[in-house]
């Protein structure tokens, strides 16, 4: 009993250390991101802005930091954390290390909704100053897709991981096919739809960032709350029932919250791949296995990764900009291969030592 308590305390201490390091790194990369771009902004300017000394800055500098750099950086941070967290949940719920946010088809549904808004000319200002037709269409498309997946997957009012996963894959394929058809029928709008789908944070605004922060702030605590139940689901349906965990309820809550996070992530920045796949593996690589700790550190690591990728996007070809989806894939895919090869080498050594 005493040794178990010591082990638990040691594990908690390690988590606090890792969280603190991640938090410091996140603050640093966000500060750097606010400095870099097509216009020169110094770290001193950024510090003055955040310490309430904005009256010492030039009006142009104040506008660039407050209305462009800060909303964009915060959006990248929130979306990176949200995608990584959703990927962590998907891998836990479906007990599949290759699962990622795209398995439910929510991203494809959101993209279809945005594509419809763009090709029909509804991509104008609809609600408040910042929410365009593509934004509203993406959220509605994600909601419709979520309803379709859960309606198809339902069996006598109950859900299981296999039927939900298969329904998600099927709906995702249908949505992707419809996007292709839509782009083919509206060739004049193809470039706009394609560029939106590649992902960008350039359309970030204060209003969008505030709404995204509210959504993430409400949804993440729910995922953290049910994280221990997801740990139990990994043991199998029978074991979960024995331990008093309702698989249907846990699955419904986890996937509904994940779908909400995905809907607003895609609406704000388009489809961004690899983040939800590789970040949970990186966190596991550092010895974090419990779902609650893994979820929190995945959020922090995903936020760091996305801010770094966005900084690369807006600086490497300035004043132009790269698509965020391309950068995350270029950085993420090789690193994922490295992790895969390292895992296989480690497994081979363990077998040879037995």
So what's the pLDDT on residue 242? 72
Distance CA 75, CA 129 (A): 17
So what's the pLDDT on residue 96? 80
Confidence class for position 53, pLDDT limits 50, 70, 90: confident
Distance CA 70, CA 33 (A): 9
Confidence class for position 4, pLDDT limits 50, 70, 90: very low
So what's the pLDDT on residue 30? 93
Mean pLDDT of 170-185: 88
Mean pLDDT of 286-306: 91
Which of 118-132, 240-254, 286-300 has the weakest average pLDDT?
118-132
- CA 341 to chain centroid, in Å, comes to 25
Gyration radius from the chain CA atoms: 21
Residue 2 has pLDDT above 60, yes or no: no
Residue 9 has pLDDT above 60, yes or no: no
Confidence class for position 348, pLDDT limits 50, 70, 90: low
Domain ranges in the chain are: 2-339
Q: Which residue has the tokens 């029978």?
A: 238
- Residue 160 CA: distances (Å) to CA of 3, 26, 150: 37, 37, 10
Backbone φ/ψ region at 160: left (φ over 0), alpha (ψ -120 to 50), beta: beta
- Who wins on pLDDT, 154 or 150? 150
Query: Out of 1.10.3470.10, 3.40.220.10, 2.30.42.10, 3.40.50.970, which CATH number does the structure's domain 2-339 have?
Result: 1.10.3470.10
Q: How many other CB atoms sit within 10 Å of the CB of residue 129?
A: 9
Residue 5 has pLDDT above 50, yes or no: no
- Residue 135 CA: distances (Å) to CA of 104, 252, 270, 273: 20, 25, 9, 19
Residue 156 has pLDDT above 50, yes or no: yes
Question: Phi, psi (5° rounding) for residue 294?
Answer: -65, -40
pTM score, whole prediction:
0.89
Distance CA 49, CA 15 (A): 32
Residue 157 has pLDDT above 80, yes or no: no
Q: Which helix (H) or strand (E) holds 204?
A: none
Beta bridge partners of 155: 158
So what's the pLDDT on residue 255? 86
Mean pLDDT of the chain: 83
Mean pLDDT of 92-115: 85
């Amino acid at each position: 009993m005493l040794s178990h308590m010591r082990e638990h305390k040691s594990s908690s201490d390690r988590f606090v250390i890792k969280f603190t390091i991640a938090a410091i790194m996140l603050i640093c990369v966000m500060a750097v991101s606010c400095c870099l771009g097509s216009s020169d902004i110094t770290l001193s300017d950024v510090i003055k802005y955040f310490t309430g000394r904005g009256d010492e800055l030039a009006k142009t500098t104040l506008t660039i930091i407050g209305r462009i750099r800060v909303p964009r950086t915060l959006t990248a941070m929130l979306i990176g954390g949200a995608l990584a967290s959703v990927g962590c949940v998907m891998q836990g719920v479906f007990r599949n290390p290759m699962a990622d946010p795209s398995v439910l088809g929510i991203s494809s549904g959101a993209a279809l909704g945005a594509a419809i808004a763009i090709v029909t000319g509804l991509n104008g200002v609809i609600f408040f100053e910042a929410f365009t037709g593509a934004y509203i269409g993406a959220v509605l498309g994600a909601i419709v897709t979520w309803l379709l997946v859960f309606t198809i997957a339902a069996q006598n009012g109950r859900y299981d991981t296999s039927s939900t996963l298969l329904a998600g894959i099927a709906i995702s394929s249908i949505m992707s096919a419809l996007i292709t058809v839509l782009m083919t029928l509206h060739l004049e709008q193809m470039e706009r739809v394609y560029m939106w789908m590649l992902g960008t944070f350039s359309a970030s605004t204060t209003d969008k960032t505030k709404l995204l922060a509210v959504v993430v702030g409400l949804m993440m605590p729910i995922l953290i709350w049910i994280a221990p139940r997801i740990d139990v689901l990994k043991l199998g349906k029978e074991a979960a029932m024995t331990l008093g965990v309702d698989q249907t309820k846990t699955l419904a809550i986890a996937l509904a919250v994940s779908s909400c996070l995905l809907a607003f992530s895609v609406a704000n920045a388009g489809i961004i791949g690899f983040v939800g796949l590789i970040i949970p593996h990186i966190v596991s690589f550092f010895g974090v296995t419990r779902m609650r700790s893994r979820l929190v550190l995945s959020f922090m690591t995903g936020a760091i990764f996305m801010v770094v990728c966005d900084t690369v996007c807006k600086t490497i070809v300035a004043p132009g900009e790269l698509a965020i989806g391309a950068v995350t894939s270029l950085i993420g895919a090789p690193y994922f291969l490295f992790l895969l090869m390292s895992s296989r080498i480690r497994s081979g050594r363990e077998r040879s030592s037995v």
